[in-house]
A and B are shown apart, each in its own frame.
Chain A
Amino acid sequence: MAESYPITAYAAVNALGESTRQVVENLREGLSGLRPCPLPVPFEAPTGALAEPAPRLSGAVGRHDSPTTRLAIVALDEVRATLGRALARHGAERVALIVGTTTAGLARTEEAHAHLLRTGALPGDYDLERQHAFGGLIDALRIVTGIRGPAFVVSTACSASAKALGSAQRLLAAGVVDAVLVGGVDALSQTTLRGFHSLEILSPERCRPLSHLRRGINLGEGAAYLLLEREGESAVRLLGVGESSDAHHMSAPHPEGIGALAAMRGALEQAGVSPGDVDHVNLHSPGTRLNDLSEARAITALLGADVPVASTKGYTGHLLGAAGATEAIFAIVSIEQGWIPQSLGADPVDPTLGVSVSTARREGRFRRVLSNSFAFGGANVSLLFGDAP
């Protein structure tokens, strides 16, 4: 059985709010953060854009400015105090930084490339290393946080920041570090909006995961952090992480959900928790029929038809690289506060799924909660959280 680790701080910024408290309040009240797309695109696409854009970077990280890194730095505020104490207690070399992202500075490069075509030159302050590359995001966060241990990006598309939690758990288990700041971040970009539109899975209206009225996904933007420590006080702990590959298709899940099943089973086995003890699943379910069928098959095969499940993509849109860390926080909140959110947009539920969709907020005691993230390339991960013994 794997060691479990306390989550000593967490923070999320997305379309639901600019503080974790606001995000959780709106989730609890069933209020969607989806709004019209702030980027110019030639089609209808509600998005989970931030109500107010994150501020441009200046000072020590001014040269690292990109929409994604802005989000990553804005969201740090609420974990800074606890992180500071962890750095002092363990030493900056014994704290790692692992961030899940899909696009890194792609939105900045889109602007720079358009500028190049318009004027014949890149913007004078464009910097491929610091603004576009994944390492630039890591460097900016090292500068701002003072973390000096191992630092890297995990980039497995839509499961990136959930996989980052898996990497963090491994570093702690191997004794390499005593704390890991896990992040997830992605900004909206032309590439992702138009790319998902070309794949014909971008919904022209608010997404309706798990409903037979679904028409596809909405994209969102945001950032989230979880601080994992070897020891510390927390109401909820990371109990297990299961990872698998579909080995099936770059952009479609395995129809039988075998990768999803393997990931959930892996998380439970690692934690020594039996399927019957799972109280809730935060689904990956971004709003496509293929994903819902595949994930529902895996759920019913492993956990049965009765465990209450919900998708939170109807609140935030699909946050891509930030989805795993953000939804991990939603799972933690369910355990801490004793409620699971309404699966927004799910009613009327697709009757072919055969799972118990939470179409209204449910109060109760939720002790063991799974959070699923699946991705392009078939990179699946399932996280298991539980209350502290």
Chain B
Amino acid sequence: MTLMPAAVLGLGLWRPASIAEMPPPRLPPRLRRRSSLLINMVAEVAYQATQEAGASLSSIPIVVGSAYGELGTTMDILRDLAGEGVVSPTQFQSSVHNSAVGYLSIAEGNRQPSTSVAAGDGTLAMVLLEAFACLAQRGGQVLAIVADEPTPAELRSSGQEMPWAGALLLEGGARRGVAIAGRSPLALLQDLRALPPDAPDRAADRPPGEVVRGLVEAIRAGGPAHVSLGGGGSCAWSMTICRTEGP
């Protein structure tokens, strides 16, 4: 990998203690009426990360990652299909994977080239890869967000996972010891790489929400640290967190 390091300017994390806990309302009322848990979680961490950095969400490209996308809305549609067979138009247009990034762009008038990706357990790593590649191509800032709703009881074979979301506001062209636009970044992220198949800590057994929490906490601690980003099989990924100042 030859990607340049990126500075972390702000962080967001949503990891409720119980499944009943809802993220605070962040979207304008006209959009909130129809917004899913996933959309609300993405909005919550997006505003956390941009507000920490004093940045405006209206002009930053956004990369959203979610392994399952709009699962809750999909389940509602499946129940409607089983009933009258009529799909609600509002639910249908909000069932696409890029609903969260669409709602955020509409709420903020954000016309930047944003995107929405998925890669199972490798979703966090691939969101960061896409975000780093965007920074390499266009410079400036990118807001990288990952989130997933709990898998629905009807369809899951394993235990209940809590909903979760995380966000990193990244800026490209970073070098150690250099403040960006007068702000001192929280840390530098670099060296995104696939782990060798025999690497010890592959984070493969940790739930993705815990992997994201671990990454956010390690960045808060400022590094230096080497963190696993999850992903099973031959696609486990890691990244290095560096201090922004000193050796």
Contact = CB atoms under 8 A, between A and B. Distances in A.
B151 interface: yes
A248 B111 CA distance: 9
Given A195-B77, A378-B106, A167 B133 contact: yes
Contact of A134 (B88, B97, B235): B97
Contacts of A156: 96-98, 101, 115-116
Interface stretch (A48-56, A71-79, A107-115): A107-115
Contacts of A243: 113, 115
Contacts of A197: 87
A379 B234 contact: no
A58 B129 CA distance: 32
B92 A174 contact: no
Interface in A104-133: 104, 106, 109-110, 112-114, 116-117, 122, 126-129, 132-133
Interface string A218-262: 000000000000000000000000111111111100000011001
A151 B235 contact: yes
A176 interface: yes
Interface stretch (A11-19, A135-143, A326-334): A135-143
A106 to B, nearest CB: 7
Contacts of A171: 129, 133
Contact of A176 (B82, B86, B108, B129): B129
B97 A155 contact: yes
B87 to A, nearest CB: 4
Interface of A: 42, 93, 102, 104, 106, 109-110, 112-114, 116-117, 122, 126-129, 132-136, 138-139, 142, 148-157, 163, 166-167, 170-171, 173-176, 190-191, 194-200, 242-251, 258-259, 262, 266, 375-379
Interface in B52-93: 67-69, 74, 77-78, 81-82, 85-89, 92-93
A250 B93 contact: yes
A152 B130 contact: yes
Interface of B: 1-3, 67-69, 74, 77-78, 81-82, 85-89, 92-99, 101-103, 105-106, 108-123, 126, 129-130, 132-134, 136-137, 151, 154-157, 194, 233-235
Contacts of B109: 247
Contacts of B1: 176
Contacts of A109: 74, 78, 155
A135 B119 contact: yes
A202 B98 CA distance: 21
Contacts of B117: 152-155, 167
A102 B129 CA distance: 21
Give the most central of A129, A200, A258: most B CB within 10 Å.
A129
A174 B132 contact: yes
Given A102-B97, A266-B113, 13 more contacts: A109-B155, A113-B82, A114-B81, A127-B157, A135-B122, A142-B234, A148-B234, A191-B81, A197-B87, A245-B114, A250-B102, A262-B111, A377-B116
A251 B122 CA distance: 29
Contacts of A148: 194, 234-235
A148 B3 CA distance: 18
Contact of A195 (B92, B123, B132): B92
Contacts of B106: 247-250, 378
B207 to A, nearest CB: 13
Nearest to B69: A155
Given A133-B67, A133-B68, A174-B136, A167 B81 contact: no
Nearest to A129: B120
A136 B108 CA distance: 33
Closest 7 CB pairs of A and B: A135-B120, A377-B102, A195-B92, A243-B113, A155-B97, A134-B118, A170-B133
A100 B172 CA distance: 26
A224 to B, nearest CB: 19
A251 B97 contact: no
A152 B154 contact: no
B96 to A, nearest CB: 4
13 contacts: A110-B81, A155-B97, A174-B133, A174-B137, A195-B77, A242-B113, A244-B113, A245-B113, A247-B110, A249-B106, A250-B102, A251-B89, A379-B116
Contacts of B234: 142, 148
Given A133-B67, A247-B111, A250-B103, A152 B118 contact: yes
A167 B116 CA distance: 11
Given A113-B78, A245-B105, A128 B118 contact: no
Give the most central of B92, B102, B121: most A CB within 10 Å.
B102
A151 B2 contact: no
Nearest to B234: A148
B111 A199 contact: no
Nearest to B101: A377
Contacts of A376: 93, 96, 98-99, 102
